[in-house]
A and B are shown apart, each in its own frame.
Chain A
Amino acid sequence: GAVVSQHPSWVICKSGTSVKIECRSLDFQATTMFWYRQFPKQSLMLMATSNEGSKATYEQGVEKDKFLINHASLTLSTLTVTSAHPEDSSFYICSANSVSSYNSPLHFGNGTRLTVT
């Protein structure tokens, strides 16, 4: 149980285009999902907390107009990197925990490697 699916697993896009990354909880409902960014050989950096039916909460230094988050249902959150630039190239990971088990650990998607050329 507690499977989180992230799609796509990798994407290459041209500078100036937008890219959408999906995060789905497959066998549980997630009121809250989290989006992280990971640079090579570094730990996870929390970007934002995505709440179902409301606006996301962004961490300090993360541009909300650059990284658009939508959490339209209890099983789907999307991260859109708008007008992507090479410096946005990174590994993006989402996570969630079950709404029915507030204290449960986070379960992670397999990540999306974004390369902006």
Chain B
Amino acid sequence: GEDVEQSLFLSVREGDSSVINCTYTDSSSTYLYWYKQEPGAGLQLLTYIFSNMDMKQDQRLTVLLNKKDKHLSLRIADTQTGDSAIYFCAESTTGGFKTIFGAGTRLFVKA
């Protein structure tokens, strides 16, 4: 079945860039998402990319997609302590339906 994998932890210093990586198995994935979850809260959609795109940038966030390798990354420039959270990678072939989530990467930002 479909699977989404991501590393569990990442620690960076404040002001550095963070890169969170994700791999997925479903070659027919059409939509790839990044969600952020702060402690005790639901998931906040950060950004998403269609499979026919290679890159998407939104302020401090840059998403890179390597469709051949089924690899997705999220780069956060100038990481702040407020960026400390869990980041979930997710994929879907049909928009919101049957969205498959990774286990989440816990980002620690050291001041």
Q: Which A residues are closer than 8 A to B by beta carbons?
A: 4, 6, 32, 41-44, 91, 93, 95-97, 101-111, 113
| Contact between chains at B103 and A103 (CB < 8 Å) | no
- Size of the chain B interface, CB-CB below 8 angstroms: 22
Q: B57 in the interface, Cβ–Cβ < 8 Å?
A: no
Q: B45 in the interface, Cβ–Cβ < 8 Å?
A: yes
Per the bound structure, the CA–CA distance linking A50 and B56 in Å amounts to: 32
| Contact between chains at B42 and A108 (CB < 8 Å) | yes
Cβ-closest chain A residue relative to B38: A110
B56 to chain A, nearest CB (A): 13
A56 to chain B, nearest CB (A): 14
Cβ-closest chain A residue relative to B44: A108
Closest 7 CB pairs of A and B: A97-B96, A103-B95, A108-B42, A108-B43, A110-B42, A106-B96, A43-B103
Per the bound structure, the CA–CA distance linking A27 and B94 in Å amounts to: 22
Contacts A6-B42, A107-B45, A111-B42 hold; do A43 and B104 have CB atoms under 8 A apart? yes
| Contact between chains at A43 and B88 (CB < 8 Å) | yes
